[in-house]
């Protein structure tokens, strides 16, 4: 007799358009949450507490799913009045939800059965709970609401940019391809109008940031810290490294990477045949033009599907689900927030990729980068119940994304055809060139939050000095806004995710290690990468690095250890012929 189950078709995939949104009822959520915590505190044994933690997880998953649905749909169209209103609701109410989370963390840490729970759930959950408690008190609720509102205000300024150029109107994503024009005068003109937009918005942007700094400093003092630096580190859930260790890492970048970057900029100047490499030339890498992906957005996605099918069985299943459930929004359009991100819809076990294709090689970079994030959370989100373990801390999370960019190198021929070698050179050298900028952004934030009374002009001057240290090649050709130190105002992380940016640089050094290892033994490197993804956030940054057989970026000599292979590869290519 035929098995009945074998004749049944698999359940239909629920597509993103059919993910139902409803605003959380905070009063009902609070009542249920608090009742479960009371039950947890009075539970007779660890087994009962564990069951209650899983019930609390279901409540949290529902809330975060609604939050992320709102966030995705709001950033997809910042002019949509419904989701703008819903986004405002979350800006105002997230702090109250965080208060509930902190109530949970206090109960968890005070559990009579903590040893048994730690054995079942892992020590990292308790470390994260301890860090979370350092960053919240009810006294800062209004400050957190103000912080959220200011961040949203900055994002809207950028999302709604309208830049007139050559009789057409562009946004910040669509103007970028013109900044890569083969015509140098056109590059300069496009850069000029873009930075004119930032210069015109500078008083508003600087006021927003000034209020953000003062709000964050005020919160830090209410929490008992000297300044926001300590709060920022605790928010980023950094448990096994300190600002002094980060400063030593920045020193390694300054001493080892900045000279290599300067050599690469000089190679670029020579191959472009320029007397001076000016700021609007920096992203224009080759006299024959930068490599551009071939085909439409649909063709790019089709090639990505082929790539992930051939890379591994795990990535094949993962990417097919993204396609079937419509879990990607990749094409730039007016009103869409700039940039790219990956988030996760807990209730549906669904990663979601957001980007703004604009016809440059960055389209492929952002696709593979965000797919790295998505593959990681796909791998760990179904393995762990607790949201804290779905994602690692962001320093480790960026290892997955940046390493995925390198693991997919063998398939770049599908996207770039005859320009594939040019793409390799651009991608690897670009990763090197990013590091000095990345640590400059981090050091800038340390300066700003250690000196919260700085004026906007003093902040701009501090940034300009950092550029001279980490980006000594940079020449602004008399652009007054940039000469006065305004470049940092374009960097969303500084406004919306304080102290995030160093994570990219730490992860880049780890990704370079995977690149080196993949070239020598793909099977071993890929195995360690998949296991790293599966581990999610169940361990701290340095423990995850160690588990993946990588060297800590903080170790003296680690940065130097990857430079040899990178230099050898770049020197093996005659870039004057690209």
**Contact between residue 523 and residue 470 where contact means Cβ atoms under 8 Å apart:** no
Please report the pLDDT score of residue 383 as a whole number: 92
**Contact between residue 250 and residue 440 where contact means Cβ atoms under 8 Å apart:** no
Dist CA 508 CA 429 (whole Å) = 12
**Contact between residue 325 and residue 350 where contact means Cβ atoms under 8 Å apart:** yes
Angle of CA points 67, 70, 75, to nearest 5°: 125
**Contact between residue 291 and residue 423 where contact means Cβ atoms under 8 Å apart:** yes
In DSSP notation, 299-332 reads HHHHHHHHHHHHH-HHHHHHHHHHHHTT-EEEE-
Angstrom CA distances, 281 to 260, 289, 491, 573, stand at 18, 12, 19, 21
Among residues 234, 212, 204, 231, the alpha carbon closest in space to that of 220 is found at: 231
Please report the pLDDT score of residue 480 as a whole number: 97
Dist CA 320 CA 302 (whole Å) = 11
**Contact between residue 434 and residue 508 where contact means Cβ atoms under 8 Å apart:** yes
Please report the pLDDT score of residue 352 as a whole number: 98
Dist CA 95 CA 340 (whole Å) = 25
Helices (H), 382-501: 387-390, 394-407, 412-416, 420-450, 456-470, 480-483, 492-496
Strands 168-170 and 341-345: what pairing? unpaired
Angstrom CA distances, 122 to 114, 118, 125, stand at 11, 5, 6
**Contact between residue 490 and residue 426 where contact means Cβ atoms under 8 Å apart:** no
For 341, counting Cβ atoms within 10 Å of its Cβ (0-12 exposed, 13-18 middle, 19+ buried), the class is middle
Please report the pLDDT score of residue 210 as a whole number: 98
For 298, counting Cβ atoms within 10 Å of its Cβ (0-12 exposed, 13-18 middle, 19+ buried), the class is exposed
pTM of the model: 0.92
**Contact between residue 99 and residue 105 where contact means Cβ atoms under 8 Å apart:** no
For 11, counting Cβ atoms within 10 Å of its Cβ (0-12 exposed, 13-18 middle, 19+ buried), the class is exposed
Q: Where are the domains of the chain?
A: 22-127
578 residues of the chain, pLDDT tens digit each = 334 333 444 567 899 999 999 999 999 999 999 999 999 999 999 999 999 999 999 999 999 999 999 999 999 999 999 999 999 999 899 989 989 999 999 999 999 999 999 999 999 999 999 999 999 999 999 999 999 999 999 999 999 999 999 999 999 989 999 999 999 999 999 999 999 999 999 999 999 999 999 999 999 999 999 999 999 999 999 999 999 999 999 999 999 999 999 999 999 999 999 999 999 999 999 999 889 999 999 999 999 999 999 999 999 999 999 999 999 999 999 899 988 999 999 999 999 999 999 899 999 999 999 999 999 999 999 899 889 999 999 999 999 999 999 999 999 999 999 999 999 999 999 999 999 999 999 999 999 999 999 999 999 999 999 999 999 999 999 999 999 999 999 999 999 999 999 999 999 999 999 999 999 999 999 999 999 999 999 999 999 999 999 999 999 999 999 999 999 999 999 999 98
**Contact between residue 500 and residue 398 where contact means Cβ atoms under 8 Å apart:** no
Please report the pLDDT score of residue 12 as a whole number: 73
Q: Which structure tokens are listed for 40?
A: 């947890």
């Amino acid at each position: 007799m035929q098995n009945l189950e074998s004749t049944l078709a698999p359940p239909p995939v629920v597509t993103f358009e059919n993910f139902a949104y409803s605003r959380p009822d905070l009063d009902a959520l609070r009542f249920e949450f608090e009742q479960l915590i009371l039950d947890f505190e009075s539970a007779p044994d660890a087994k009962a507490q564990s069951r209650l933690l899983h019930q609390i997880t279901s409540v949290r998953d529902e809330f975060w799913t609604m939050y992320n649905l709102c966030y995705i749909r709001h950033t997809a169209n910042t002019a949509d009045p419904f989701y703008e209103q819903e986004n405002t609701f979350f800006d105002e109410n997230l702090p109250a939800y965080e208060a509930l989370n902190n109530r949970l963390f206090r109960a968890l840490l005070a559990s009579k059965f903590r040893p048994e729970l730690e054995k079942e759930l892992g020590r990292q959950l308790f470390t994260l709970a301890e860090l979370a408690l350092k960053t919240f008190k009810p006294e800062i609720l209004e400050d957190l609401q103000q912080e959220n509102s200011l961040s949203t205000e900055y994002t809207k300024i950028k999302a709604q940019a309208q830049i007139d150029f050559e009789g057409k109107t562009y946004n910040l994503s669509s103007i970028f391809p013109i900044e890569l024009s083969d015509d140098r005068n056109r590059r300069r003109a496009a850069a000029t109008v873009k930075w004119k937009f930032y210069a015109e918005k500078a008083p508003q942007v600087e006021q927003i940031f000034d209020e953000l700094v003062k709000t964050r400093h005020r919160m830090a003092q209410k929490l008992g810290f000297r300044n926001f630096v300590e709060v920022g580190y605790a928010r980023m859930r950094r448990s096994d490294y300190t600002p002094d260790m980060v400063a030593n890492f920045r020193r390694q970048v300054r001493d080892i990477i900045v000279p290599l970057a300067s050599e690469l900029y000089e190679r670029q100047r020579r191959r472009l045949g320029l007397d001076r490499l000016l700021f609007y030339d920096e992203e224009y890498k080759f006299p024959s033009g930068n490599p551009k992906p071939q085909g439409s957005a649909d063709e790019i996605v089709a090639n990505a599907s082929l790539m992930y099918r051939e890379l591994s069985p795990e990535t094949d299943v993962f990417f097919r689900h993204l396609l079937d459930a419509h879990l990607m929004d990749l094409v730039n359009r007016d009103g869409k927030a700039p940039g790219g991100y990956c988030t996760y819809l807990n209730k549906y076990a669904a990663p979601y990729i957001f980007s703004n294709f604009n016809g440059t090689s960055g389209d492929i970079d952002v696709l593979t980068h965000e797919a790295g994030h998505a593959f990681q959370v796909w791998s760990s989100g179904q393995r762990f119940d607790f949201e804290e373990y779905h994602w690692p801390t962001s320093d480790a999370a960026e290892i997955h994304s940046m390493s995925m960019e390198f693991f997919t190198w063998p398939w770049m021929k599908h996207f770039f055809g005859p320009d594939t070698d040019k793409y390799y050179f651009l991608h690897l050298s670009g990763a090197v060139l990013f590091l000095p900028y990345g640590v400059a952004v981090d050091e800038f934030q340390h300066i700003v939050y250690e000196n919260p009374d700085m004026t906007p002009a003093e902040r701009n001057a501090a940034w300009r000095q950092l550029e001279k240290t980490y980006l000594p090649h940079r020449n602004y050709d008399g652009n007054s806004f940039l000469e006065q130190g305004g470049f940092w105002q374009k960097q969303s992380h500084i406004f919306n995710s304080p102290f995030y940016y160093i994570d990219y640089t730490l992860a880049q050094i780890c990704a370079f290690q995977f690149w080196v290892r993949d070239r020598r033994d793909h099977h071993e490197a890929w195995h360690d990468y998949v296991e790293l993804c599966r581990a999610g956030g169940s361990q701290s940054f340095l423990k995850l690095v160690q588990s993946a057989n990588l060297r800590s970026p903080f170790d003296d000599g680690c940065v130097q250890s990857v430079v040899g292979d990178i230099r050898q590869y770049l020197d093996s290519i005659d870039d004057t012929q690209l």
